[in-house]
Amino acid sequence: MVKIDVTKHMLVPEHIILDEEETREVLEKYSINKESLPKIHITDPVIKLIEAKEGAVVKIIRNSRTTGSAIYYRFVVAK
């Protein structure tokens, strides 16, 4: 079976792993802790591909019909 690079698919938005500093900034901006972020499972195809670790925060840049792009954050969880 041919393995497909899902990140190249037009419907899959760009996922970026945030470093500690960036993560801290995001959490501060919304005055929350990681648990209050939307979650994404570690077995998610994109997460597996970009090799994000459990506990990491990923920034997702989605296309938007109205604003061009929309930013979303997700907390990587194992269960």
Partner 1 sequence: MKPKRIKQIEFGLLSPEEIRKMSALKVITADTYDEDGFPIDMGLMDTHLGVIEPGLRCKTCGRKVDECPGHFGHINLAMPVIHVGYVKLIKNLLRASCRSCGRCLLNPREIEDAKVSLQKCLDNGLFNETDTVFKEVVREASKAKSCPHCGAEQKKIVLDKPTTLREERHKLTPREVRGRLEKIPEGDLPVLSVNPEIARPEYMILAVLPVPPVTARPSITLESGDRSEDDLTHKMVDILRINQRLLENRDAGAPQLIVEDLWELLQYHVTTYFNNQTSGIPPARHRSGRPLKTLTQRLKGKEGRFRSNLSGKRVNFSARTVISPDPFISINEVGIPYQIAQELTIPARVNRYNIEVLRELVRNGPDTYPGVNYIMRNDGRRIKLTEKNAEHLADEVLEEGCVVERQVIDGDIVLFNRQPSLHRMSMMAHTVKVMKHKTFRLNLCVCPPYNADFDGDEMNLHLLQSDEARAEAMILMAPQEHILSPRFGGPVIGAIHDHISGAFLATYHREFNYEQVLDILEKINWLKGMPEPDRVDENGIRYWKGISIFSLILPEDLNLDYKASIFDTDLPEEDTIVRIRNGKILQGTVDGRSISAFKGKILDTVVREYGPDEGRKFLDNVTKVSLGAISQLGFSTGIDDQDIPEEASNQIREGLQMASDAVAKLVRSFHEGILTQLPGRSLEETLEVEAMKVLAKARDVAGEIAGKHLGLGNSAVIMAKSGARGSMLNLSQMSGSIGQQAVRGERISRGYENRTLPHFKRGDKGSEAKGFVKSCFKDGLTPTEYFFHAMGGREGLVDTAVRTSRSGYMQRRLINALENLRLVEDGTVRDTDSVIVQFKFGEDGIDPAKSIAGNPVDMEEMFKKRMIYNQENDPLKKEVKE
Residues lying near partner 1 in the complex (CB under 8 A):
30, 32, 35-38, 62, 64, 66-67, 70-73, 79
CB of 4 or CB of 38, closer to partner 1: 38
Instruction: Classify residue 73 by burial, with Cβ atoms within 10 Å: 0-12, 13-18, 19+.
Output: buried
Question: Do 61 and 51 form a contact (C-beta atoms < 8 A)?
Answer: no
Shortest CB 73 distance to partner 1, Å: 7
**Main-chain phi, psi angles of 59, to 5 degrees:** -100, 130
Q: Please, which residue, 37 or 76, has the CB nearer to partner 1?
A: 37
Pick the closer one to partner 1 by CB: 7 or 64.
Answer: 64
